[in-house]
Amino acid sequence: MRQFSVLLVLLCLMSNVNAHKLAPSLLEMRELPGGLIGLWWKTPVLAAKVPTVVLPESCQVIDRQDQTVSEGAIEQRYSMLCHKATASLEFAIEGLTASRSAALLRWYSIGGDEQQALLSSDEDRFSPAMQGSGGSAIFQFTSLGFKHILIGLDHLLFVLGLLLIASKRYQLLAWISAFTVGHSITLFLVSIGLIPHWPDLAEWLIAASVLVMALYAGKSVAISNTKRGGKWFIVLVGAFGLLHGLGFASVLDELTVSSTDILPALLGFNIGIEMGQIFFIAMVAALLLAVRWTLATMPLRRVALLSVARTATIYVMGSVAVFWMIDRGLSLFEATFRSIY
């Protein structure tokens, strides 16, 4: 499966190597008597362009608290007075395309009704009159999971490492299944509060898992197809899946999903992650077919090109993982220091 390495070269040319994945933004609005609306806005501080809330022209901010930065997110709380009926109001979030993220919006009406919508670059507006337009929670979180895995370069590099190492299709299927089971378990257990969550430690361990995949992929060149990835390896992949699940859980944790929505959110988010993984693997397969078709009449050049691409992929993969480990290690040290003092 060494031909799959071509994909990483393209990924490295097209993507910025970010040390941390961006969690979705969160916008909560509560309707109050007298035309007042309370607003809570939370967005990642590491975004290339921080998304902003665009208020209706008929609304005026009357009580704005100071902006705070906590756990890698910018938080704002303020009240606004709107001079038009709630049904005619329209809110928007600007900059979602540049920030490569989505935003979860929750609206609580004065009568106690709740609406929820997942806003993205192609649908960044919301009106309380759009009753049910956001779709059910499970479909919204499926979309969120799909988008999150595709911008989670560390998770994709781990899967790519499995593609580099696998010599048989059944091996790849077994390893991807073990990875899926692993991250599904910890995603569920963290989200329902049965096990603790240390995001800084989890992110560092995820980077370490990418380095292990790169090292083993380099070593697998000298290993015969029959001995590559024994029974122990599937256990290792499952264990790394547990670590990656901790990273996925941080997304739901930052969105403060309510207890009534936690099960559909978990199911939808996990389905979205699996759909994203399948899409990624399908893109790799399509790229491989394109390479084979383009170089069908030049077998020697094809072999040489893919061999160079594989070597370059392994080195880039390992280098990026080491960079992440250093950067995330500093964040882990800072978080540990803050908790002590």
- Residues 122-142 have pLDDT tens digits of 677 888 876 554 556 788 788
Could you tell me which CATH number the domain at 25-135 has? 2.60.40
Exposure b/e, 25-61, CB count within 10 A at least 16 = b? bbbbbbbeeeebbebbbbbbeebeeebbbebbeebee
Residue extents of the structural domains in the chain: 2-20+152-340, 25-135
CA 197 to mean position of chain CA atoms: 17
Rg from Cα positions in the chain: 22
- Please name the residue that has the structure tokens 């995820």: 206
pLDDT at 267: 87
* CA pair distance 42, 268, nearest whole angstrom: 22
Q: What pLDDT score was predicted for residue 128?
A: 82
Low-confidence ranges of the chain (pLDDT < 50): 1-16, 18-20, 133, 340-341
Residue 12 is predicted with a pLDDT of 45
pLDDT of residue 30: 92
Beta strand pairing call for 68-70 and 36-44: unpaired
Cβ-contact 332, 204 below 8 angstroms:
yes
Tokens 């990624």 map to which residue?
A: 280
Give the residue among 16, 35, 124 at the shortest CA–CA distance from 85. 35
Residue 229 dihedral angles phi and psi, to the nearest 5°:
70, 75
* CA atoms within a 13 Å half-sphere pointing along the CA-CB vector of 60: 3
What pLDDT does residue 207 have? 93
Dihedral of the alpha carbons of 170, 176, 182, 185, in degrees to the nearest 10:
-100
In whole angstroms, what is the distance from residue 163 CA to residue 175 CA?
Answer: 10
Q: Give residue-wise pLDDT tens across range 287-302.
A: 878 877 887 777 777 6
Q: Give which of 122, 72, 117 is closest to 253, Cα–Cα.
A: 72
